[in-house]
Amino acid sequence: MSIPGDPREKVFRPGPAPLRSHLPVLGKTLEYVHDPLSAMARRYRDHGPVSDLNLLGRTWTALIGPDACQAALQNGDKAFASGPGWGYLVGPFFNRGLMLLDFEEHKHYRHIMQEAFTRPRLEGYTRTLAPLVDAGISSWSPDRAFQIYPALKSHTLDLATDVFMGGAEYAAPGELDRVNTAFVDCVQAANGYVRSTVPVPFTKWGRATRGRRLLEEFLRRHLPARRAKPGEDLFSALCQVADASGGIDDDDIINQMIFLLMAAHDTTTSTVTSMVYELGRDVEWQERLRRQCLALGPDPSLAELEELPDLALVMKETLRLHPPVPVLARKTVKDTEVLGVEIPAGRLTSVMPLYSHHMPEYWTDPEIFDPERFSEERREDKSHRFAWEPFGGGVHKCLGMIFANLESKLVLSALLRHFEWSVPLDYSPPMKNDSLPYPGDGLPVSLRPLSRVHA
């Protein structure tokens, strides 16, 4: 555990001077991309929890701090809609995904899709994932500068192909690489400056348009096989749920699959990468988890994973410091008010839970990696109902968060059983924030095989 004065302590200050831009279309976009947390801290300090700013050529209302975030996420007067908010950023590429539906329509689809995440199905996904995770991780070649992020991204895509789609035996050579690129392009379109209904060459928006088309073709080609010969994969589950309910058709299945694949693939990669980083700086916690994971064995069940409280503590603390989705998008569908500030109808709204995770009003030494803060004795996350919201909140809280947690735990436990690693205490990865945050240098770690004596 880090202690005050230790090099592992990450002292948060308002951050480096923001990148300035006098170009109206860019507004505060470059400042956010440069350092999101510092940008939020300055805005909260200078303008309070509710304020207007220019992002990507549009006026947005920023909601910062747990009180402001709670107002939008609980959405008591149904003024905030998720669909048109996210729709402005990535709507054409994750069209009709659950995150982009609202009110009664969202309730209808969420109720249907919950059947794909019941306890028995989650246990089935775990049975499928566990041996695949162990086989994939054990095949890695250790290196003193092993880039963990791209390795995890490739591995989680392989896992998604199996647990989401029932296997990749039908994929053409190189097709999965193109699928991976398509996902990346769709996600990175969120901060594209050139937005067009046609795929303009050499733009993020254009690449995402082509990527969405590729994903649709890939899934539609394999949908009949999943319906005819269902297995313990999510694609099969959605087909079965759709046929049983009559509430969603083939287009809906494809829309939801694209959204769920993106959500699971990118968020799991981000979460495990961040856990590797924090545990590489904290040998005590890494060893503590390793002892428990070695006792668990290579094919843990869902129940066995849930019986590892320390793993849950580390994951929660990592999600506090490095939430995969630091900002949530909304748009007002009628005039409303948050903390006494009026927000007009039709206003794009940026809900920023990341800053809530770092506020000293709610967290002790918030920049220190301290998983014990989530222990039953402390429960600092109870300081405010919305102090910790890495999965969002309200009716749009992530439907697949339990699945994402179990996949992340399986991957990390396999890493702990096969390897030990470290990163320099003075190293901080150069983060890219033009989509979901990721380390621009791949996050190199000194990855070493676990010694026989140790094992």
Contact 255, 96 (CB under 8 A): yes
Residue 143, SS3? strand
Give residue-wise pLDDT tens across range 141-182: 999 999 999 999 889 878 877 776 666 555 676 777 787 788
Q: Region 17-23: what's the mean pLDDT? A: 40
Query: What letter represents residue 405's amino acid?
Result: N
User: Is 398 annotated among the ligand-binding residues?
Assistant: yes
- Quick check: 307 pLDDT over 80? yes
What is the rounded distance in angstroms from the CA atom of residue 410 to the CA atom of residue 402?
12
Share of the chain above pLDDT 70, in %: 88
Instruction: Give the residues across from 449 on adjacent strands.
Output: 419
How many other CB atoms are found less than 10 A from the CB of residue 309?
13
Q: What is the pLDDT of residue 83?
A: 95
Give residue-wise pLDDT tens across range 347-406: 999 999 999 999 999 999 999 999 999 999 999 999 999 999 999 999 999 888 888 899
Q: What is the pLDDT of residue 194?
A: 64
Q: What is the pLDDT of residue 13?
A: 38
Contact 418, 99 (CB under 8 A): no
What is the rounded distance in angstroms from the CA atom of residue 148 to the CA atom of residue 158?
15
Q: What is the pLDDT of residue 148?
A: 97
Give residue-wise pLDDT tens across range 314-334: 999 999 999 999 999 999 999
Distance of alpha carbon 195 from its chain centroid, rounded?
24
Q: Which residue has the higher pLDDT, 297 or 289?
A: 289
The runs of H, that is alpha helices, within 166-249 are 175-188, 204-228, 234-245
Contact 42, 51 (CB under 8 A): no
- Quick check: 276 pLDDT over 80? yes
Instruction: Give the residues across from 59 on adjacent strands.
Output: 54
- Quick check: 240 pLDDT over 60? yes
What is the rounded distance in angstroms from the CA atom of residue 363 to the CA atom of residue 271?
20
What is the rounded distance in angstroms from the CA atom of residue 357 to the CA atom of residue 230?
41
Which element (helix H / strand E) includes 108? helix 103-113
What is the rounded distance in angstroms from the CA atom of residue 273 to the CA atom of residue 290?
17
Query: From start to end of 293-380, where are the E strands?
Result: 328-332, 336-338, 341-343, 348-352
- Quick check: 119 pLDDT over 60? yes
User: Band of the pLDDT at 12, cuts 50, 70, 90?
Assistant: very low
Q: What is the pLDDT of residue 306?
A: 92
Specify the pairing of strand 58-64 against strand 50-55: antiparallel
What is the rounded distance in angstroms from the CA atom of residue 419 to the CA atom of residue 209?
40
Give residue-wise pLDDT tens across range 417-430: 999 999 999 999 99
Q: What is the pLDDT of residue 198?
A: 65
Domains of the chain: 107-327+368-449 (1.10.630.10)
Q: What is the pLDDT of residue 270?
A: 92
Q: What is the pLDDT of residue 414?
A: 96
Instruction: Give the residues across from 147 on adjacent strands.
Output: 444
Q: Region 43-62: what's the mean pLDDT? A: 93
Distance of alpha carbon 373 from its chain centroid, rounded?
22
Q: What is the pLDDT of residue 202?
A: 72
- State the Rg of the chain over Cα: 22
Contact 327, 350 (CB under 8 A): yes
Give residue-wise pLDDT tens across range 205-218: 888 888 889 888 88
Contact 73, 393 (CB under 8 A): yes
